[in-house]
Amino acid sequence: MCASDQIRFEPTTAGLQRLTARFGGHAFDLHRHETYAVGLTLWGAQSFHYRGELRTSGAGQVMVIHPDETHDGHATVDAGFAYRMLYVDPASVSAALDGAAPPFVRDVVADDPALGNLLREAFAHFPQALEPLAVDAIVARLAELLSARSDATPRRAGRTAQRAVERARDFLVSEAPRIVASEELEKVSGLDRFALSRQFRAAFGTSPHRFQVGQRLVKAQALIGRGTALSEVAVATGFADQSHLTRHFAARFGLTPGRWRSLVSTRRSRPGTGH
């Protein structure tokens, strides 16, 4: 890890999380998350493996990584890179599109002035918290821009299926971090486990299990950022032990809890170095 590596982030609010980071070399191992990751490279260049190819985002370019798509990250130039990233709940994007399925954007890296401007607007006063109406406006505009970039015709789930997966999702949020049985979700949703899995992925871009684990890991991320001991974080977020937490955390964020803590600690101990 380079001495200048650092991360700044905020808790997720209304389905939106903002993060800024910079790295001088290797950034993230292969991982995937249950949210969209929509970013703007500020300076330098970063490369990452995505859908079987190596992609590179240079200064001023934007990235759109779809939920559940594996990717990593590293600097492409000696100077390293810095970026801003929005992590957006696909359910919020779907809601902003009147219930249409979350759009898939094929061009993961692009010169997209409109999306770049939206990201600059979203971070104009970071880390000051966004007001609720500002969050709504950013998600609505982001959904519009993602839909415009998608080459697929928007699909809407039937009302019965949509209500079923929404009930399942709300239940998973309310019951995190405990382990939820398939039978429980069948009872809550009214769908059998396999139909629910298909409908859930179509609506939210990921599986019910990965979604719930993601909820637990976002909580773990926040606790680690506040300096909570990793053993305590594991207990608080429903993992069997610290090693269990570490495996899941690395699969979700591309780095271990210890490295995450050191990157956030670097930011806390060196005020004024953020972007």
What local confidence, expressed as pLDDT, does residue 1 receive?
54
The domains of the chain, with CATH numbers, are 6-155 (2.60.120.280), 159-267 (1.10.10.60)
For residue 43, the cross-strand partners are 82
Residues contacting residue 134 through CB under 8 Å, at least 6 positions apart:
none
What percent of the residues of the chain are helix, what percent strand, and what percent coil, each to the nearest 5? 45, 20, 35
What local confidence, expressed as pLDDT, does residue 140 receive?
94
In the chain, the amino acid numbered 239 is F
What local confidence, expressed as pLDDT, does residue 270 receive?
43
The b/e string for 110-129 (b: 16+ C-beta within 10 A; e otherwise) is bebeebbebbeebbeebeee
The predicted model scores a pTM of 0.87
Distance CA 256, CA 235 (A): 17
Each residue's pLDDT tens digit, 41-82: 999 999 999 999 999 999 999 999 999 999 999 999 999 999
Give the chain's residues under pLDDT 70.
1-3, 153-157, 266-275
What local confidence, expressed as pLDDT, does residue 152 receive?
72
